[in-house]
Amino acid sequence: MQRALDFDKTPALGVPLPFFLNVPLFALLAGALAAWAGPQAFASRWNGAALALTHLWTLGILGSAMLGALLQILAVACNVPVGAARTVAALAHACLTAGTLLLAAGFLGWWPAAWIGAAALLGPAFALYLAAVAWALWRHRRQVYKGAREILVPVRGALGALSCTVCIGLILALSLGLGWALPDWIDAHVLWGLAGWGGLLLMGMSFQLLPIFQVTELYPKPLVRWLPLLIPGLLLAWTALDASAGLPHLMRETAELLLVGAYALWAGVTLRLLWTRKRPAPEPTTLFWYAGMLSLLACAPLWIWMTHGHSPRAGLVLGVVMIAGVLGSVVNGMLYKIVPFLLWKHAQDAMIVPDRDPAQARVYLKVLPKMAAYIGDRPARWQWAAHVAVVVSWSLAAAGWMPAALAAGPLQIVSSAGLAWNIGRALRLYRKTLRAMAALPHHAQPL
């Protein structure tokens, strides 16, 4: 597996950045909704506020971040640039944003027209995105970097899982909007979305990004080779067993147990690599990875509680830990690596140095901040602490503890405001740098 990225293939800043900017905005919306709904939001996974919160998280926060990151990673790590990336990203982002807002409004007001409108926006958004990425994977299949082929296996599995998740979700949304009988596919929708799309994509990215940005050893080759194949197989087996009438319930539980074990194995190996990494002092992104992988390990006993404890709240707690604890932590941490790097890289690209003049280059370097200046460690660590408080409070609220349910919304607002402030500060520094460079001789135009 390669331990280098080809930054010359970086897409335009306007391709991934709007997706990343969705993250703090939808996180603020989720916090405001949780604060407004209070304990009612955590009373049941089926009430309107809980469903709206779930989709603000999964589509607005996690979905936006992962769609944007994938466009970036495919280009620089795999030599798979998506054609017409600006157009694809702009249309997918606009439809995803509007569709997610409509879907949340539909759940809050139990408004059939909103569900139909959401399906009309989200369907084309994901269809366009998936078609563009699938065509890029096919078109550049012979130009893929040799060391990147292993990470494309989980990426392809994640895209297949996303397709299943979207198709089931569209059928469910249209069933609600048009008054059709609601299919019993909700568990499949959740499992393919979280364990398939979210889990496989983060796994594939970890194989590439942790050795580079966290300076860890490479993942063991057998794990990299077989785990991304095992997980889709288990998801397919679970789906077939769930759809088959008359089979012992134990067979489906066995598939679930193996799936939980596969992800626990990945989490354990990842924690070991982070613990033995060559940089002893953990940086903010490292802390978010620790939080995500520890949350993933916690999913195993939570699954046992859900399966054998017969508590109506067990599934709700497990969902919160998977969404906010596992996926939310890793996505938040990745933003602290990706956003500063993108801004620093595009500021560098804006330099115009005629004939490689070293004197001119030195002039530019005086106004070009280092990458670490875009988001400092201290504010990022503070926001990490706030995020951990969010995960704990939301988990306790889902378990039925009233004080945590009252604190969940305000804590989410504080955490997401911190993330918004940190990213906003990085953007302000980027614009300031471009203005300073534009005032120099042979100035560059802002990207």
Q: What is the pLDDT of residue 7?
A: 78
Mean pLDDT computed over 157-163: 98
Range in 75-89, 109-123, 309-323, 346-360 the model is least confident about:
346-360
- Work out the pLDDT band at 228, boundaries 50, 70, 90: very high
The more confident residue out of 395 and 371 is: 395
Q: CB under 8 Å to 66, separation ≥6 — which residues? A: 197, 198, 201, 202, 331
Residue 3, pLDDT > 60, answer: no
State percent of the chain over pLDDT 70.
94
Helix extents (H) in 244-327: 249-275, 284-308, 314-320
**Rounded average pLDDT over 153-179:** 97
pLDDT of the residue at 445 = 46
Question: What mean pLDDT comes out for the span 120-149?
Answer: 93
The pLDDT mean for the chain works out to 92
Give Cβ neighbours of residue 393 (< 8 Å, ≥ 6 apart): 404, 407, 408, 411
DSSP 375: S
Candidates 26, 17, 18; CA nearest to 328 is 26
pTM of the model: 0.94
Note the pLDDT of residue 90.
98
pLDDT at position 295 over 90: yes
Give the pLDDT score at 9: 84
Tell me the per-residue pLDDT of 314-364, one tens digit each, with 9 for 90 and over: 999 999 999 999 999 999 999 999 999 999 999 888 776 555 656 666 766
Please report the pLDDT score of residue 94 as a whole number: 98
Nearest CA to 294 among 265, 271, 318, 319?
A: 271
Name the residue among 210, 377, 337, 364 with its Cα closest to residue 277.
210
Which amino acid belongs to residue 414? V
In the predicted structure, residue 303 carries a pLDDT above the cut 70: yes
Predicted confidence (pLDDT) at residue 257 exceeds the cutoff of 50: yes
| Domains defined along the chain, listed by start | 7-438 (1.20.210.10)
φ/ψ of 373, rounded to 5, equals: -75, -20
Evaluate if residue 383 carries a pLDDT over 80.
yes
pLDDT value of residue 309 = 80
